């Protein structure tokens, strides 16, 4: 199985994401923002970083990159897409996911190991976890506060589309402690903290992030 990892100008975490894909058991395929070809990948990861320098709004310019038009089209047909951190912001700006990510409520850039709880394990990217499973992975961002209107929040909660919540004190002011959400179909997932930095205990706080990258294999085998 081939998993594409997109590099935009300013992307930081593409290498770790590709490494995590390989550790999960798939083949990592590099995609460039200006590509007009998805290179026959079966799934796509939008990694973290500061694409286009976060100019205008995080993810606002990336949304219009040539490769994103293909990703938006493929996601609509059911291809699994995971957006991590800046990738989550791009997915929201692309309207593949509802809501928006805004400045952390205390205005600080946070970089720490964060406990989150997986609350929906039926998506393409979370099936390796048990519902209610708690994992510790890095959280590092300045604009990680998930915001949406009351109607959207009620919809997300009502349809079980929150996939992960922060445990303990709210790190960034996200509504309902939301760390990640999915689309209606469960193939598109956005997550603020970084599972790709937690696949190896030598370099990460745990290896508990690996489940996101093994889940995608389960999704394909089905």
Min separation Cβ 174 and another protein, Å? 10
User: Which CB, 73 or 201, lies closer to another protein?
Assistant: 73
User: Which CB, 123 or 174, lies closer to another protein?
Assistant: 174
- Return the number of other C-beta atoms located less than 10 Å from residue 203's C-beta: 11
Min separation Cβ 163 and another protein, Å? 19
CB 49 within 8 A of CB 16: no
What burial letters (b/e) apply to 29-67, b meaning 16+ CB within 10 Å? bebebebeebeebbbbbbbbbbbbebeeebbbbbbebeb
Min separation Cβ 45 and another protein, Å? 23
Number of residues lying near another protein (CB under 8 A)? 20
Percent composition of the chain: helix, strand, coil (DSSP 3-state, to 5): 30, 25, 45
User: φ and ψ at 132, to 5 degrees?
Assistant: 90, -5
* Catalytic positions: 85, 194, 196
Interacting stretch for another protein, rule CB under 8 A, among 42-50, 73-81, 143-151, 161-169?
Answer: 143-151
**Tokens linked to 128:** 């390796």
Q: What character string, x for contact with another protein (CB under 8 A) and - otherwise, covers 47-76?
A: ---------xx--x---x------------
3-state DSSP assignment of residue 23: helix
Min separation Cβ 52 and another protein, Å? 12
**Tokens linked to 200:** 């190896």
User: Which CB, 148 or 199, lies closer to another protein?
Assistant: 148
75-94: contacts with another protein (CB under 8 A): 92-93
Q: What is the DSSP letter of 103?
A: -
Q: d(Cα 10, Cα 39) in Å, to the nearest integer?
A: 22
Q: d(Cα 35, Cα 29) in Å, to the nearest integer?
A: 12
| Residue 110 touching another protein (CB under 8 A) | no
Interacting stretch for another protein, rule CB under 8 A, among 4-12, 71-79, 97-105, 130-138?
Answer: 97-105
| Residue 22 touching another protein (CB under 8 A) | no
**Residues of this chain that bind another protein (CB under 8 A):** 56-57, 60, 64, 92-93, 98-100, 102-107, 145, 147-149, 173
């Amino acid at each position: 199985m081939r998993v594409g990892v997109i590099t935009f100008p300013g992307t930081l975490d593409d290498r770790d994401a590709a490494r995590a894909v390989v550790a999960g058991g798939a083949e990592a395929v590099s995609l460039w923002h200006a590509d007009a070809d998805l290179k026959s990948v079966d799934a796509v990861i939008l990694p973290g970083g500061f694409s286009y320098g976060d100019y205008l709004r995080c993810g606002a310019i990336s949304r219009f990159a040539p490769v994103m038009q293909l990703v938006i089209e493929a996601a609509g047909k059911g291809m699994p897409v995971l957006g991590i951190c800046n990738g989550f912001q791009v997915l929201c700006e692309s309207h593949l996911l509802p809501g928006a990510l805004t400045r952390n409520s205390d205005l600080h850039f946070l970089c720490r190991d964060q406990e989150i709880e997986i609350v929906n394990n039926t998506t393409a990217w979370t099936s390796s976890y048990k519902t209610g499973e708690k994992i510790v992975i890095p959280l590092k961002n300045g604009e990680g506060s998930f915001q949406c209107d009351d109607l959207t929040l009620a919809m997300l909660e009502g349809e079980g589309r929150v996939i992960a919540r922060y445990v303990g004190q709210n790190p960034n002011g996200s509504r309902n402690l939301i760390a990640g959400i999915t689309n209606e179909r469960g193939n598109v997932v956005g997550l603020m903290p970084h599972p790709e930095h937690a696949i190896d205990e030598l370099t990460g706080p745990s290896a508990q992030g690996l489940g996101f990258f093994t889940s995608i294999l389960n999704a394909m085998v089905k």
